[in-house]
Copies of this chain bind each other. A is one copy, B any other.
């Protein structure tokens, strides 16, 4: 199909498609004449993935490009691909807190990981984020939330097991890689939206008039 039809099929404007082509997010179409490229189902699928990552998960364009290059690589180990998707979800900036709160938070998190037998790279960005966030909650007088860390972890373990089960339903390595990347990133958006809706509902019941 031509670029105009690709635009119609995916509801993505032609100039946006051209931008993704220039940035190398979308592979070029097949040249049917010197000035005419033809696009196929793989382009439709890839465009949907790009839009979901950028619009819903708010992943920056440069990171989307990295993720797609990693997906298209036949050699990068799956575990590395997952790490790349994780980095797309993790803030790179960090609080420079070096105080007691951070030391206590680091010890708390080390205990949690040990007790659960999790295999976690000590350099994982999510580890630093978790420690900093717990330190911030303590500094802000929200220790009651920190006290429930294990209950949070229980819930998270429950749905992570389920996510892994769901994505491993796909048999080939390529499909598995794509499922894991999509599941990691869009699964986050599903959980986050559900949480906000559940909170809104409880808030409406309790505090509508306060």
| Residues of A participating in the B interface, judged by any CB pair closer than 8 Å | 11, 45, 48-49, 51-52, 55-56, 58, 77-79, 82-83, 86, 89-91, 93-99, 113, 118-121, 124, 126-127, 129-130, 132-134, 136-137, 139-140, 142, 144-145, 147-149, 151-164, 166-167, 169-170, 173, 178-180, 182-184, 186-210
Main secondary structure of the interface of A (DSSP, over half): helix
Q: Of B118, B166, B191, which one neighbours A197 at CB under 8 angstroms?
A: B118
> In the complex where A97-B11, A130-B190, A159-B155 touch, is A86 in contact with B56 (Cβ < 8 A)?
no
Q: Which residue of B lies closest to A156 (CB)?
A: B194
Of all A-B residue pairs in the complex, the 9 with the closest CB atoms, nearest first, are A130-B193, A126-B196, A118-B201, A52-B136, A144-B166, A155-B155, A78-B207, A160-B198, A119-B204
Chain A to chain B contacts (Cβ below 8 Å), 22 pairs? A48-B136, A52-B95, A52-B136, A56-B132, A58-B93, A77-B209, A78-B203, A78-B210, A79-B208, A113-B197, A119-B201, A120-B200, A127-B193, A127-B197, A134-B190, A137-B190, A142-B186, A144-B167, A149-B190, A151-B159, A151-B162, A188-B192
